[in-house]
Amino acid sequence: MSVFEDLRNGIPYDIRDEKYHKEAHGEMDRCRHICYKINSTDPNEKERIIELENELLNDQMKDGTYFTPPFQVDVACRMFLGKNVFANHGLTVMSIGTITIEDGVMMGPEVGLFTVNHEPNNIRVIKTGEIHIKKNAWIGARVNILPGVTIGENAIVGTGSVVTKDVPDNAIVVGVPAKIVKYI
């Protein structure tokens, strides 16, 4: 089993572990290099950007899916994207714990998706929690979504929120930490 599957299954890893270092850092180096190329490309060269995004995300940039540069994805092999997913500029993705983003999701500028955290008693040990963003969710600008969170279908997360717990379908959440303010 890969380090990525171990982490997805709740197995913590010491970041100094040889297997972790080889698998995780190999993918991180690949992603960092491709993100650099994307972020250095003239914004008017949309075809080139899409070509590079497909290289990064294993041909998942289809049917309207597009990330506006600049952005950073650290472990693209653990991201799974639907159709018509849009992310505005400044997206930061730490996806070693796996991220699934379903069809029609919209993300505003400077959104952060974080699937990894460190053990408080040993900061060299990481653990992860999968993020799942369901169909047609809308994530506002500068929202941070923490490990283990599911954002429900048609949910709206207000600008600047920090999401620490699951958001139900059709809920609107705002704040730090994000709380439900109403349903649509």
Q: What is the CATH number of the domain that holds 74?
A: 2.160.10.10
Nearest to residue 81, comparing CAs of 113, 129, 122, 47? 113
In which domain, by residue range, is 12 found? 3-183
**Options 21, 25, 118, 132, the catalytic residue:** 118
pTM, two decimals, is: 0.95
Number of structural domains (the chain) is 1
Mean pLDDT for 20-40 is 96
Side by side, the strands of the sheet bearing 79-81 are: 79-81, 99-101, 131-133, 150-151
pLDDT in tens, 78-128: 999 999 999 999 999 999 999 999 999 999 999 999 999 999 999 999 999
pLDDT in tens, 54-70: 999 988 888 899 999 99
- The stretches of 40-158 forming alpha helices (DSSP H) are 46-56
Q: Which residues on adjacent β-strands are paired with residue 150?
A: 132
Residue bearing tokens 């955290």: 117
* Catalytic (active site) residue 89: no
pLDDT in tens, 1-16: 799 999 999 999 999 9
pLDDT at residue 118, rounded to an integer: 95
